[in-house]
Structure 1
C-alpha cells in the first residue's frame, strides 16, 4: 500500500492543518477559501505562501483527482531512527496471532520505544490503516517488553 492519503476534488471542501502559528489550507472551493482568508486577514497578519509543497513532514502533491498527502520522507527517517530500514515488509502491520509464551522481559530502552511509538502516531495522519497497530503499541507505553 502506498504511504499517502488522497483528498478528492469531487465535493466542495476545505481542509485546515494548524500547528502553532502555521496554517495550511487545501480545498476545491475557491470562493470559500477566499472568504476564509479575508476573515483571517481582518483579524490576523497573514501571508499567503501559495500552493503547499512540504508542511510538518507532509508533502502535498497535486493530481488530477485532488491532492496526495505523503509522509514517505518522515516514514523513512523513522525507520532509520528505529534501525529498521532493512526489515521485511508485512501485509499486516500487527501480529494476528499471540505468541504461545509471551515474554515478560522488559524492553531495554523504554524511552526509545516511547519516541518511536509517538512518531508512529503522527504517521497515522496519512496512514489510517496503521491506527489499530499503533493504538496497540500505545497501550504498552508505561512498561514495554521485548515482545512489543
Structure 2
C-alpha cells in the first residue's frame, strides 16, 4: 500500500518519498486481495491446487490423501481424508499464520450445522438476522405478496429510517445463504433512500417468512450416486 505525504507533513527535502506499510490493513480495499494472495501462495507451496469452479476452494491430492480447504476472507473450513493428515495440515498453516483451531464445524458464514452422526450433517438456516424481537410474530408462507408492487407506491415516511436500513442490510447479508429471499430483499433495498410505510410492511413480511422457516435445513449425507436432481415449482 503506497500513499502520498499528508498535507501539513510534507518533507520538502524529499517530496517524492511516500509511506510504505509493512502489512495490509483492514479497511483498505487492497487488504482482502493482499491477504488472499499471501494465503493462496502458501497453500500452493504446500501442494494445494485452486479449484477452477470456485477460487475460494483449494484441494490437495496425493495418493490416497485428500484435503479440502474453503476460504472466506479469514474464515476457513478444512477437512481431510484422515485425522492425521488434517492435523499435519493445520500445523503447517499455524506455522505461517496466526490461526485458531475451533474444532468440528458448527457455524460458517452465519449458518449453523448440526451433526447427527459422524458422517451425517444437517446445515440449518442462519440465526444471524438480528430479528430476535420478531420471533413472536405470525409466520407467512411467502417472502413477498404476489399482488402489490413496490415501485411507485406512496405512503407516510417510516418513523425510523435508520432502523429500517439496518434491518434491510441484515437481510442483504442473509441472501448469501437464503436465496429464496433475494428478490424480496432486492425490492426493499431499492427504496432505502426514502423508505415508506408500505416498504416497512414488506420488510416485516420478509421477517415473518424467515421466522416461519427457521426450523428448516438441508440434510446432507454420503451417497455413491453422482447424479444431480433438481426440483422447481416455477412456471
TM-score under structure 2 length normalisation: 0.44
Give the deviation of 1:137 after TM superposition. 0.9
Name the CA distance, whole Å, in 2 between partners of 1:112 and 1:95.
22
Q: Which runs of 5+ in 1 are unaligned?
A: 1-11
| Aligned length, in residue pairs | 129
Higher relative contact order (CA 8 A, sep 6+): 1
2:109 is aligned with 1:59: no
1:90 is matched with which residue: 134, 140, 148? Answer: 140
Give the deviation of 1:85 after TM superposition. 3.3
- In the alignment, is the contact (CA less than 8 A) between 2:161 and 2:195 conserved in 1? yes
- In the alignment, is the contact (CA less than 8 A) between 1:14 and 1:25 conserved in 2? yes
CA 131–35 in structure 1, closer or farther in 2 if over 3 Å, else same:
farther
TM-score under structure 1 length normalisation: 0.65
Q: Deviations over 1:55-114 (max 9, x none)?
A: 664422224443414324x34x4141xxx3343222210121126x93232111110100
Q: Which runs of 5+ in 2 are unaligned?
A: 1-66, 200-235
CA RMSD of aligned residues (A): 3.3
* 2:113 alignment partner, SS class: strand
Higher mean alpha-carbon deviation, 26-35 vs 135-144, is at 26-35
